[in-house]
Structure 1
Amino acid sequence: MNRPDREASPDVLAVIMAAGASRRFGAADKRLARLPSGQTLLAATVARAVGAFAHLRVVLRDEDDPVALGLAPDTPLIRAPHAGDGLGASLADAFAALAKDDALAEFEAAAVLLGDMPALADETLKRLLDHAARERIVRPRHAGRPGHPVLFGRAYWSELASLGGDEGARRVIARHRGHCLELAMGDPGIHLDIDIASDLAALPRGLA
């Protein structure tokens, strides 16, 4: 899988969460929703991350076929055996795997991206990278509201690895408000995820 040769922040990786059941989308697997570009929704999100991060992992369910989801065969994966229990459980699977990966031993931070957010601006991802630190949580803010992705310094990986259920990482962020940096962005894409099929119409021209 080709990635940019980025010298900036080589010790930060993107973790793309794509193991959810997406029940609100209906019977179809929303990760397979096709954009006019021909890419699947998940593949478009991954391509956006590849443009900013030199390293990434895509989190999938045990039974998922990455090629069927539109991903390149060499896409680095993490399997989430507890994905059925919710986003928190998937995050726990992901960060437990990251902690055991010797290739990532020197990494300072990981940015958690949702697999259904292909409209993020490149500048948003690059600004998050610029503010990465081992003992810092960084998230974007637009129109008075925080959004995604959220970048977690390595100091918080063990807490993420102990999550469960479907709450996600909100409690981790709340416990460490003093180490949380919110960056004002002019990017509405930090709030634009695809929950139901009609949300696809809200994607910017060129994506949908």
Structure 2
Amino acid sequence: MNTSPTIVVLAAGHGTRLQPGRPRLEQPLAGSTVLGTTVANALQTGLRVLVVTTERLVPLLLPQLTLQDLHVLAEDSARRGRGQAIAAGVGDSPQSPGWLVLPGDMPLVRPETMLAVAQAIALHAVACAQHGGRRGHPVAFAAELYSELASLQTDEGARRLLARYPAVGVPVDDAGVLVDVDTDADLDSLRLPQRRVAGG
């Protein structure tokens, strides 16, 4: 019997604020890609990692995961937003005692942060990482919310769920819980420390 939550990585959306032809999840970062780095950090927790994605990203993910660890959405379903993707990931792991939802464009979230948030749902229905008084990702849900999570259809549905079950903040020393890659500037800021190291 599985006693550890599942990390559901959301990688089915479309980065509309990057320059045309530059899908954000596929951009090079830290010797991998934005998505590959996020997944690698999740795998370091030892928890099961399930990526909700589209057919186009499957080749990028297979070096790290098996097909059993991927839930591939049709493009029309992927366009419906995170609510649909969360429902797909939760529905694909119904025996899990909980789920950590982590956007695929958050490559700086540390494995120890994910584990801290995962532990919180032993006592709370919903928990999230919190840094400097600000709440970020991952957001974790206990198994008792399975039916509501698996029936989500829209982002608005996800927001209503969080309104009914306010998340308990888990303080972490990890600014990465607040950092996602939405724009070219975001991506460049993540690469800047790497360039500094390479340049001495």
In the alignment, the residues of structure 2 paired with residue 191 and residue 155 of structure 1 have an alpha-carbon distance, to the nearest angstrom, of 27
2:173 is matched with which residue? 186
- Amino acid of the residue matched to residue 184 of structure 2? A
Q: CA deviation at 1:174?
A: 1.2
In the alignment, the residues of structure 1 paired with residue 177 and residue 8 of structure 2 have an alpha-carbon distance, to the nearest angstrom, of 16
1:130 is matched with which residue? 119
1:146 is matched with which residue? 135
Which consecutive unaligned segments of at least 5 residues does structure 1 have?
Answer: 1-8, 100-104
TM-score, normalised via structure 1 length: 0.81
In the alignment, the residues of structure 2 paired with residue 159 and residue 153 of structure 1 have an alpha-carbon distance, to the nearest angstrom, of 11
* RMSD (Å), alpha carbons: 2.4
Residue 40 in structure 1 maps to residue 33 in structure 2? yes
1:30 is matched with which residue? 24
Q: Secondary structure at the match of 2:168?
A: strand
Whether the aligned pair in 1 keeps the contact of 2:106 and 2:176 (CA below 8 Å) is: yes
* 1:87-139 CA distance string (max 9 Å, x none): 1122222222223xxxxx2x211100110111012331121122232862110
Residue 92 in structure 1 maps to residue 87 in structure 2? yes
Whether the aligned pair in 2 keeps the contact of 1:52 and 1:126 (CA below 8 Å) is: yes
* 1:30-61 CA distance string (max 9 Å, x none): 111001x3201101000000111331100012
Structure with higher strand content: 2
Misfit runs of 4+, over 4 Å: none
**Matched residue count:** 190
Whether the aligned pair in 2 keeps the contact of 1:13 and 1:53 (CA below 8 Å) is: no
C-alpha change, 1:157 and 1:202, in structure 2 (3 Å) is: farther
* 1:149-206 CA distance string (max 9 Å, x none): 00110111211222223347222121013xx321122211111000012102332735
Whether the aligned pair in 2 keeps the contact of 1:67 and 1:73 (CA below 8 Å) is: no
Q: 2:4 aligns with which of 11, 21, 26?
A: 11
C-alpha change, 1:134 and 1:64, in structure 2 (3 Å) is: farther
Structure with higher helix content: 2
Whether the aligned pair in 1 keeps the contact of 2:113 and 2:129 (CA below 8 Å) is: yes
Say which is worse superposed, 9-18 or 186-195, in terms of deviation: 9-18
C-alpha change, 1:201 and 1:163, in structure 2 (3 Å) is: same
In the alignment, the residues of structure 2 paired with residue 22 and residue 167 of structure 1 have an alpha-carbon distance, to the nearest angstrom, of 19
C-alpha change, 1:191 and 1:207, in structure 2 (3 Å) is: farther
Say which is worse superposed, 65-74 or 147-156, in terms of deviation: 65-74
- Amino acid of the residue matched to residue 45 of structure 2? A
Q: 1:200 aligns with which of 183, 187, 199?
A: 187
1:50-65 → structure 2 map (5 Å cutoff): 50-61=43-54, 63-65=55-57
2:59 is matched with which residue? 67
In the alignment, the residues of structure 1 paired with residue 111 and residue 87 of structure 2 have an alpha-carbon distance, to the nearest angstrom, of 27
Q: Secondary structure at the match of 1:183?
A: strand
